[in-house]
Amino acid sequence: MLRRAVALGVDHIDTAAFYFSPLRSANELINAALAPYPDGLVIATKVGPWRDAQGVMQGMARPDDLRGQVEENLRQLGRDHLDLVNLRTLSVSKPVDEHFAALAALRDAGLIRHLGLSNVTVEQIDEARAIAPVVAVQNRYSIDSRRPEADDVLEACAERRIAFVPFFAIAGEGREGGRRTSELEPVLAVARAHGATPAQVRLAWTLARGNHVLAIPGTGTLAHLDENVAAGALRLTEGELALLSSLA
């Protein structure tokens, strides 16, 4: 799957050390499949939350624990630096300054090239930007699963020249469960009009939200991977985009 993605031109892979199974982590799988890494491939990882050895999420790490998380990502990926590290918050109401400052120090030390954020508000973005440049923001965002402030973050990222990287763009409320078993009729209608799948329509709508928008859809089959990449060429009409946007 990973090798096929790179062969199709995918140059941005999202991962984290806390994505793992009893056999190995996602990072180790990426390392085994793709190292030595091709030029131009950006591997983005996340730190903040952590899991114990049994895989149970233990909450947010302390700022002084983030170096250990960064070093674990480096070890698993087989890298001497990380392209992009996103601070994944667990609360949109708590300050991020201490955690982000700890990552900024690791960037200054050469362990990280770029810094980003995940699951944040506009206020948290600006709080972090006062410490160090923010190049990407990962937030939950999809046609019919958007928090009230989601579009505010989308627009703020465009104004600040920050990449907006939505997760669950296809799954929506299904989250880690993947593709939904049922679909909204407007999405089905647009898909029929283009000879596309509903998932492709959802990705095309996502990418049409702005030139600063990326997509990181997960998939478990090569066929769906090919569909997801092909969605980048799907162009929806202004009327279709407005219809889909009204479904939130």
Let me know if 19 is a catalytic residue.
yes
176's CB contacts (< 8 A; 6+ apart) are none
The catalytic position among 2, 6, 10, 19 is 19
Hey, CA dihedral for 126, 132, 135, 140, is it positive or negative?
A: negative
Which class for 148: exposed (0-12), middle (13-18), buried (19 or more C-beta within 10 A)?
Answer: exposed
Compute φ and ψ for 87, nearest 5 degrees: -80, 115
* Residues 26, 28, 96, 151, CA torsion sign: negative
Other C-beta atoms within 10 Å of 45: how many? 30
- The C-alpha atoms of residue 218 and residue 2 are separated, in whole angstroms, by 11
Reported as type and span, the H/E element at residue 225 is helix 222-230
Catalytic residues: 19
